[in-house]
Amino acid sequence: MSVSEETRQERERIVREHMEAENALEMDRALETFVHPRYEIMSTGQVYDGAEEVDRYYRESRATFPDQRNELISLRHADDAVIVEFWLLGTHKGPLGRLEPTGREFKCRMTAFFIFEGSGLVCELVYFDSATIMRQLTSPS
């Protein structure tokens, strides 16, 4: 099933707004881009479903990496998704599990599938290699 050009443009607008809101640390605005907030972090198996859980995810991840930001590499459309490849960057300023803050920076290439029902964003599936980040946070420069 193919979607209209108008729907594709609206989906892309939503994804770009979502990513810009995250970079600006406007987490309420990022949350508002969803019709149903849901994140699935594939490398860890964590699922955050609903506004309260996604808000908690935002607060926890920004406590660990307060300057977390993304840099778009590419954006593609699928029938039910917008697929984004991006760099995620940040500085380790808060605890990450049992790892105390190292003050080190990381840069990791990632892919996110922004899943849509019609023009409504219902989930972000995030894929990355967590070992890439951990190696950068724990290895001497």
Q: What is the pLDDT along the chain (141 residues), one digit of tens a residue?
A: 689 999 999 999 999 999 999 999 999 999 999 999 999 999 999 999 999 999 999 999 999 999 999 999 999 999 999 999 999 999 999 999 899 999 999 999 999 999 999 999 999 999 999 999 999 999 876
Nearest to 120 by CA among 28, 10, 41: 10
- pTM of the full predicted structure? 0.94
DSSP assignment of 41-76 equals ETTTTEEEESHHHHHHHHHHHHHH-TT-EEEEEEEE
* Residues sharing a CB contact under 8 Å with residue 26, sequence separation 6 or more, in sequence order: none
Per-residue pLDDT, 140: 75
Per-residue pLDDT, 2: 84
Per-residue pLDDT, 104: 96
Per-residue pLDDT, 1: 66
Nearest to 45 by CA among 136, 130, 134: 130
